[in-house]
Amino acid sequence: MEMAVVGLGHVGSVMAAALATQGHGVLGVDVDSQKIELLSQGRAPLHEPDFEALLQDALSSGNLRLAIPGEVKGLGGIVFMAVSTPPSPDGGIDLSQVQSALHWVRSIARTGATIAMKSTVPPGTGRSLMAGPLKGSGLLYAANPEFLREGKAVEDWLQPHRVVIGGDEPAAIEALRQLYARVDAPIIVTDTTTAEMIKYSANAFLATKISFINQIASLCDRLGADVETVARGLGTDPRIGSQFLSAGLGYGGSCFPKDVRALDFLSKENGYAFELIRAVVDVNNRQRQLPLAALRKEFESLSGVRVALLGLAFKPNTDDVREAPALDIIEYLLEEGAEVRAADPVAVDHARQFVPDSVTMARSAMEVLEDAQAVILVTEWPQFKELPWDRVARIMVEPRFVFDGRNALDGRLLRSLGFLYRGVGRGLTSERATDAAVLRSLG
């Protein structure tokens, strides 16, 4: 089936390559000629595990063509829209890229082609696009939201948990039904607004799980309970499920923060107070202040204190720093006069544009830990979890404070090595082993 993907970011580039390897003729279109050049050479313009291999398979299959809009003569079949829908300052969604991409598609798509909206757009958007820019265009429209996680986009595309198709005319649904016919997952067919609402509700619910466990964690800290064990006790109930119950510094990224705020904005626009969502946002914002509160308990003042941050990306397996907790934590520490250094295996280049030059950044944790008095684990990269913490104890200096922002470290081991360990909801106060031999060995 002929198809095109307009917008080659995390979602668009993965799906264009995947569809091509599945035997479809795919035209990938993006306004960024450098991105088109990189992709044409089989190189990934973004950090997504397994994507480069998929792209090279797609190119060698001969099914994937890549072009900037000016090189495209016509479009037919299914035209997937996967352009960015960034947040607006007021909390709504900026649909300008969708509008301009649709304007271009309308100018060259053949009558009867189906526009399939992959970009996350507020519920009701499909209806307004059909009544506006697409009216009288002879083009069909369907909502077809994606549920890809950054860092797992290839896996999530190849093994979706469900396919959602939203169309207000049967013809608009048919083309997508055929495309996904052989996918081994439930196919949910509904109207456009309901399909759009499924996407927002999914992200809002996952964010709610995270803020819920983070509030339980705060209570655990006060009561001396361990949130990791509480989460295991919750997750073993199939009605609750074990995922998205990891307490810590909360969610970041280009999706949860934007989608949750947009749902709150949409509710207000429609005269409804979605209190739960507001609480989810407020709790999440407070989580990234936890390291500072813990540091204030250990240090009279943070002025001149050398603090190392482990992790800049908003989560492991990505170089994306959008809404990453690390960026706010660095800002809070600098405001208190701390001397900050940060390490991340892949996100340093992306973070540089948001972090003041006074902050030394490196890919290696050991480099930033040298002489540090405190360390904050912000992103649970495997490299950081597997650090030789006995060696870290020797290169850090008193009081060797560790704030484990993702409960990814072994608190008891670290305390036995003489660190002052604090997790999130671990019920462990930041005591350390009183073993004099250990303390002597640290000098």
Closest C-alpha among 69, 75, 45, 44 to residue 57: 44
Instruction: Give the 3-state secondary structure of 147-216.
Output: CCCCCCHHHHHHCCCCEEEEECCHHHHHHHHHHCCCCCCCEEEECHHHHHHHHHHHHHHHHHHHHHHHHH
- Range 190-209, binding ligand UDX (CB under 6 A): 203, 206
Closest CA to 321 of 384, 374, 257: 257
Smallest separation, CB 267 to ligand UDX (Å): 20
Choice among 46, 78, 255, 408 that is catalytic? 255
Among 251, 299, 384, 419, binds ligand UDX (CB under 6 A): 251
Among 252, 311, 411, 427, binds ligand UDX (CB under 6 A): 252
The tokens describing 426, both together, are: 């671990």
Active site residue 220: no
Identity of the residue, 339 or 344, whose beta carbon is nearer to ligand UDX in the bound complex: 344
Residue 340 sits at φ, ψ, to 5 deg, of -110, 135
| Residue 252 beta carbon to ligand UDX: minimum distance, rounded to whole angstroms | 4
Stretch in the footprint of ligand UDX (CB under 6 A) among 85-93, 108-116, 170-178, 242-250: 242-250
Query: Does 253 contact ligand UDX by CB under 6 A?
Result: yes
Does the protein bind ligand UDX through residue 256 (CB under 6 A)? yes
Contact flag: residue 7 with ligand UDX (CB under 6 A)? no
Contact between 257 and ligand UDX per CB under 6 A: no
Cis peptide before 399 (omega within 30 of 0): yes
Backbone angles phi, psi at 385, to 5 degrees: -65, -35
Task: Tell me how long the chain is.
Answer: 443
CA 163: distance to chain centroid? 20
User: Using CB under 6 A as the criterion, what x/- string covers residues 123-152 for binding ligand UDX?
Assistant: -----------------------xxxxx--
Tell me if 14 contacts ligand UDX by CB under 6 A. Answer: no
SS3 state at 363: coil
Among 315, 350, 415, 422, binds ligand UDX (CB under 6 A): 315
Q: What is the CA radius of gyration of the chain?
A: 24
* Per-position DSSP letters for 13-33, written without gaps between them: HHHHHHHHHTT-EEEEE-S-H
Looking at the Cβ atoms of 149 and 286, the one nearer to ligand UDX is 149
Query: With respect to ligand UDX, which residue has the nearer C-beta, 10 or 341?
Result: 10
Take residue 384 and report the two structure tokens written for it: 């950081």
- Residue 244 contacts ligand UDX per CB under 6 A: yes
The smaller minimum CB distance to ligand UDX, of residues 146 and 264, is found at 146
Applying CB under 6 A, does 378 fall inside the site for ligand UDX? no
Under the binding rule (CB under 6 A), the answer on residue 246 touching ligand UDX is: yes
Task: Answer whether 344's CB lies under 8 Å from 278's CB.
Answer: no
Q: How far apart are CA 51 and CA 36, in angstroms?
A: 15
Contact call for residue 210 and ligand UDX (CB under 6 A): yes
* Minimum CB distance to ligand UDX smaller for 10 or for 432: 10
Residues with active-site annotation: 255
> Which chain residues interact with ligand UDX by CB under 6 A?
146-150, 203, 206, 210, 244-246, 248, 250-253, 255-256, 314-315
